[in-house]
């Protein structure tokens, strides 16, 4: 029996071995079928098909495809991106110069949306919404006092033109319902434009949208009629936008055939853009303000002005975003933005900062703070091996971003404990809202800056704010010495926040803030003129 058992065991081993060989052979055959060259794109398709055919559960093709696309683009550069339909729609609306909605600007100082401004001619103005209204509900959804995210509030109020939305607001202690028919709302890229003295104008540009050139041209015509001989163009915190609008704006200031920018990539031959010489502001003195958040189109404009010695650039090194994205749209409403070239200033500097290390790129602004670049001009990183020259022969350096002609450090003198504590609790913003509640008629009657300044001078904001901070948030300056240091900045902030509730809106806000703006002061001092 043992003899036959041994034979059967041997035979069984042969059969199992043969099956294993056959299985292994089929597995090898399967492996061979999946082999592909790394020089083509079939491998990605094979992976997705294999998942679909073999994965243990049903594969969500949309989710996996979008994850694969995002990962693939993430391996290229920081600005090639995939955008799902909702993201693409929101991004394009922000740059289009208009969007569908109800036409209000609001803030959320204390978990409740408060209307700051009602856009003239928009649906909300027509139906009677007013600054100071507190939005309690959108349709049947409570949004006040429940931690509702601000971006979600925006999405609920926006919608296609012609559709309706119901808002419930609190006004002077009374609940008021509104039915608003959404419409096309203009989005301004010029945040403010006004004269700061008899000959100097200030223009703040928030983004480069489809309407930017038209807005700047309209504002410039008004300022010229008011005596403008010099413009201070504020591009700080302007993250860019449409490339053509940067070209049009540069063309306003530059002489014929002056270089504006050129772009070049592996599949995009060099293409130069030059000024037409027809710009209406060629004789206007120009100063440009930039900071670490000025990017893309802002850098194209600042670089063109600097390289042509057309104006002086003040502030801190710009962001360094000089990659050219082209859009690609899919029928499901999603899209790609793919980097196809790099921007270069007329002298040849590449605007794009290095991005070989993803972590270094993502935390670049943090590193600038850490390494002292925000407070010390000697710490500004430039690549001395990349030396270029302006049309007048001045030396400028590459390495990413636009290095200003006049470095102005970030102002840290206002930072003390009371100031920081008030910022944490949005005390100043909440005070401005509360002040408006009791002085609405007075503020809404003011429509010119001189009248607003006189009103604020006599409003007693200092004592009222200190009382508000103590009673509402339990905050007080630790000493008279601390308050003496903080007072100049805090009072200006209070004036600006309260002034925003007048009919002047954001123009009042920026005008009032200029008195403590050290970058603006540096630009004004360049002409030996007093700061406001």
> Which of 406, 157, 463 has the alpha carbon at shortest distance from 291?
406
With a cut of 60, say whether residue 314 has pLDDT above it: yes
**pLDDT higher than 50, residue 371:** yes
pLDDT tens readout for residues 390-445: 999 999 999 899 999 999 999 887 778 898 888 888 788 889 888 988 998 999 89
Residue 87 lies in a domain: no
**Active-site amino acid positions:** 296, 307, 321
- Are 318 and 439 in the same domain? no
**Which of 124, 152, 186 is the C-terminal boundary of a domain?**
186
Position 310 scores a pLDDT of: 97
Strand 104-107 to strand 113-118: parallel, antiparallel, or no bridges (unpaired)? antiparallel
For residue 485, CA distances in Å to 122, 132, 415, 460, 480 come to 43, 32, 9, 19, 9
pTM: 0.81
pLDDT, one tens digit per residue, over 278-311 is 999 999 999 999 999 999 999 999 999 999 999 9
Examine residue 106 and state whether it is found in any structural domain, yes or no: yes
Is 82 a member of any domain?
no
Question: Residue 397: enclosing H or E segment and its boundaries?
Answer: strand 395-398
CATH for 312: 3.90.226.10
- The verdict on 222 and 162 lying in the same domain is no
The per-residue pLDDT for 91 is: 72
Please give the average per-residue pLDDT across 239-256, as a whole number.
95
- In this structure, are 214 and 318 located in the same domain? yes
Is residue 92 in a domain? Answer: no
* DSSP state string for 309-351: T-SEEEES------EEEEEEE-TTS-EEEEEEEEEE-TTS-B-
Q: Do 352 and 210 belong to one domain? A: yes
Residues 332 and 440 in one domain: no
Based on the fold, state whether residues 123 and 44 are members of the same structural domain.
Answer: no
Domain boundary among 407, 434, 455: 407
Q: Is 433 found in the same domain as 519?
A: yes
How do residues 479-498 score in pLDDT, each as one tens digit? 998 899 889 999 999 999 99
List the 190-195 sheet strands across, edge first: 190-195, 200-205, 230-234, 285-290, 312-315, 406-407
Determine the pLDDT at residue 98: 59
| pLDDT, tens digit (0-9, with 9 covering 90-100), for 190-240 | 999 999 999 999 999 999 988 999 999 999 999 999 999 999 999 999 999
According to the model, what pLDDT value does residue 30 have? 47
CATH of the domain at 166: 2.30.42.10
Choice between 492 and 531, residue whose per-residue pLDDT is larger: 492
- As for how many domains the chain has, the answer is 4
Question: What's the chain's average pLDDT?
Answer: 86
The reply to whether 176 and 196 lie within a common domain is: no
Q: How far is CA 399 from CA 267, 320, 322, 393, in A?
A: 23, 9, 11, 19
Please indicate, yes or no, if residue 482 is contained in any of the structural domains. Answer: yes
Residue that finishes a domain, picked among 376, 407, 438: 407
531 belongs to a structural domain = no
pLDDT class of 519 with cuts at 50, 70, 90: very high
Q: Do 112 and 239 reside in the same domain of the chain?
A: no
- How much is the pLDDT for 19? 45
pLDDT digits (tens, 9 = 90+) for 11-37: 444 444 444 444 444 444 444 455 656
Same domain, 225 and 349: yes
Do residues 261 and 390 share a domain? yes
Domain carrying residue 139? 98-186
Residues 430, 339 within the same domain: no
Q: What integer pLDDT is reported at residue 36 of this predicted model?
A: 58
Q: How many residues does the chain have?
A: 532
Give residue 528's pLDDT band: very low, low, confident or very high (50, 70, 90).
very low
- Whether 485 maps to a domain, the answer reads yes
Q: Which of 83, 84, 79 is nearest to 358 (CA)?
A: 79
CB 496 within 8 A of CB 508: yes
Q: What is the arithmetic mean of pLDDT over 327-351?
A: 92
Q: Quick count: other Cβ atoms within 10 Å of Cβ 154?
A: 14
- Would the pLDDT of 342 be above 90? yes
In a domain, 8, yes or no: no
Q: Percentage of residues in the chain with pLDDT exceeding 90?
A: 49
Segment 100-155, tens digit of pLDDT: 788 888 878 777 888 887 876 678 877 788 888 899 999 988 988 888 887 788 88
Q: What is the distance between the terminal CA atoms of the chain, rounded to a whole angstrom?
A: 112
């Amino acid at each position: 029996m043992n003899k036959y058992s041994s034979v059967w065991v041997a035979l069984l081993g042969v059969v199992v071995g043969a099956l294993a060989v056959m299985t292994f052979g089929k597995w090898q055959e399967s492996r061979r079928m999946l082999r592909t060259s790394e020089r083509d794109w079939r491998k990605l398709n094979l992976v997705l098909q294999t998942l679909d055919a073999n994965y243990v559960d049903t594969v969500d093709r949309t989710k996996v495809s979008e994850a694969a696309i995002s990962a693939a683009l993430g391996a290229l550069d920081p600005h090639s991106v995939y955008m799902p339909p909702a993201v693409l729609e929101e991004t394009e609306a922000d740059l289009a110069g208009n969007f569908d909605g109800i036409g209000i600007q609001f803030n959320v100082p204390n978990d409740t949306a408060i209307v700051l401004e009602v856009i003239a001619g928009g649906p909300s103005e027509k139906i009677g919404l007013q600054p100071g209204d507190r939005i309690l509900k959108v349709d049947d959804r409570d949004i006040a006092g429940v931690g509702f995210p601000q971006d979600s509030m925006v999405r609920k109020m926006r919608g296609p033109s012609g559709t309706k939305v119901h808002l419930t607001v609190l006004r002077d202690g009374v609940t008021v319902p509104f039915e608003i028919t959404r419409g096309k709302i203009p989005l301004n890229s010029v945040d403010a434009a006004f004269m700061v003295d008899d000959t100097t104008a200030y223009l703040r540009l928030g983004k480069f949208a489809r309407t930017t050139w038209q807005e700047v041209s309209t504002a410039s015509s008004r300022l010229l009629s008011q005596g403008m001989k010099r413009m201070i163009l504020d591009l700080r915190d302007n993250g860019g936008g449409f490339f053509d609008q940067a070209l049009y704006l540069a063309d306003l200031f530059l002489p014929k055939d002056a270089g504006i920018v050129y772009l070049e990539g592996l599949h995009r031959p060099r293409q130069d853009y030059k000024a037409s010489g027809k710009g209406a502001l060629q004789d206007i003195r120009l100063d440009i303000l930039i900071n670490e958040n000025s990017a893309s189109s802002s850098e194209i404009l600042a670089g063109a002005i600097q390289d042509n010695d057309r104006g002086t650039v003040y502030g801190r090194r710009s962001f360094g975003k000089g990659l050219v994205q082209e859009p690609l749209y899919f029928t499901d409403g999603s899209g790609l933005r793919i980097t196809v070239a790099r921007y270069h200033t007329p002298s040849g500097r590449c605007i794009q900062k290095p991005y070989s290390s993803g972590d270094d790129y993502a935390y670049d602004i943090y590193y600038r703070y850490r390494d002292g670049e925000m407070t010390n001009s000697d710490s500004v990183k430039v690549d001395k091996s990349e030396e270029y020259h302006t049309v007048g022969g001045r030396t400028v350096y590459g390495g990413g971003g636009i290095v200003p002609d006049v470095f102005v450090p970030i102002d840290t003198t206002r930072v003390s404990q009371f100031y920081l504590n008030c910022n944490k609790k949005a005390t100043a913003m909440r005070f401005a809202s509360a002040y408006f509640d009791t002085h609405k008629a007075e503020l809404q009657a003011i429509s010119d800056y001189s009248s607003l300044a006189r009103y604020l001078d006599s409003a007693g904001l200092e004592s009222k704010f200190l009382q508000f901070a103590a009673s509402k948030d339990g905050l007080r300056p630790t000493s008279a010495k601390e308050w003496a240091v903080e007072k100049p900045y805090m009072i200006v902030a209070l004036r600006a926040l309260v002034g925003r509730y007048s009919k002047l809106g954001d123009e009042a806000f920026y005008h009032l803030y200029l008195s403590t703006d050290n970058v603006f002061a540096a630009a004004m001092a360049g002409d030996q003129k007093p700061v406001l």
